[in-house]
């Protein structure tokens, strides 16, 4: 077996509220048509889920869409879009494990939809950037207003993106990786 022929996988999580543009963001940069994987609720997570009935049985599955970007011969980036509701947080634990970090997408029309994601990433110590998706190129709020409204710490970048455009998505990912590097340097 030639082990060097297998690239190293890295991943980035794309989080945010309902219909904020997560799937669009992933598909704009993915080499493949985004795929969907389903995960069933695990035992431990039943405690945090409120759909489960009294006996702890639950039929909840979570669908995640994801894309794949070849960064070089040796490196593959996976982008996982994840549902934003609190009850899917069990999936986030799994998603952020070993991840470079997260992009939290924000629709300025519904800022509050991304609270859970910002909150989660902060508490989990996951490097993240907040990316304001300028729907139709219209930015209804200045990024710094968004920072203030969401109470995003000063060291976390608040960027403007456009989920439909590959270059904008790439720049957002670059912003996240730079931020992750800063955090890795600070930790070391």
Give the residue, chosen from 18, 36, 144, 155, that forms a contact with other proteins under the rule CB under 8 A.
36
How many Å apart are CA 44 and CA 18, to the nearest integer? 25
In the shown chain, the binding pattern of residues 61 to 90 toward ligand GTP, with x for contact by CB under 6 A and - for none, equals: --------------------x---------
Contact predicate 101/32, CB 8 Å: no
Contact predicate 67/30, CB 8 Å: yes
SS3 at position 152: coil
Contact predicate 35/95, CB 8 Å: no
Nearer to ligand GTP, 139 or 183 (CB): 139
Please give the full DSSP string across 79-105, using - where no structure is assigned.
EEE---SGGGHHHHHHHHTT-SEEEEE
Give the residue, chosen from 13, 21, 127, 179, that forms a contact with ligand GTP under the rule CB under 6 A.
21
Q: Which partner, ligand GTP, Mg ion, other proteins, none, binds residue 157 by CB below 5 to 8 Å per kind?
A: none
Q: Is 95 in the site for ligand GTP (CB under 6 A)?
A: no
Q: Is 44 in the site for other proteins (CB under 8 A)?
A: no
Q: Which stretch binds other proteins (CB under 8 A): 54-62, 113-121, 134-142, 145-153?
A: 54-62
Which of positions 118-157 make contact with ligand GTP (CB under 6 A)?
133, 135-136
Nearer to Mg ion, 156 or 169 (CB): 169
Q: Is 58 in the site for Mg ion (CB under 5 A)?
A: no
Contact predicate 117/102, CB 8 Å: yes
Write the DSSP symbol of residue 153.
-
Write the DSSP symbol of residue 76.
E
- Residues in touch with ligand GTP (CB under 6 A): 18-24, 81, 133, 135-136, 162-164
């Amino acid at each position: 077996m030639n082990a060097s022929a297998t690239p190293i996988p890295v991943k980035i999580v794309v989080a945010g509220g309902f219909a904020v543009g997560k799937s669009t963001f992933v598909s704009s940069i993915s080499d493949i048509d985004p795929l969907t994987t389903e995960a069933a609720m695990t035992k431990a997570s039943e405690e945090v889920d409120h759909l489960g009935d009294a006996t702890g049985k639950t039929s909840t599955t979570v669908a995640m869409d994801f894309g794949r970007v070849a960064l070089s011969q040796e490196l593959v980036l996976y982008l996982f879009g994840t549902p934003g509701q609190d009850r899917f947080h069990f999936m986030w634990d799994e998603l952020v494990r070993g991840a470079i970090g997260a992009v939290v997408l924000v629709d300025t029309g519904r800022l509050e939809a991304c609270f859970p994601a910002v909150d989660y990433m902060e508490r989990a110590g996951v490097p993240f950037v907040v990316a304001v998706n300028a729907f139709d190129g219209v930015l209804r709020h200045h990024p710094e207003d968004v920072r203030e409204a969401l109470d995003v710490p000063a060291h976390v970048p608040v960027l403007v993106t456009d989920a439909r455009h590959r270059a904008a998505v790439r720049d957002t990912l670059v912003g996240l990786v730079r931020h992750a590097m800063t955090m890795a340097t600070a930790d070391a």
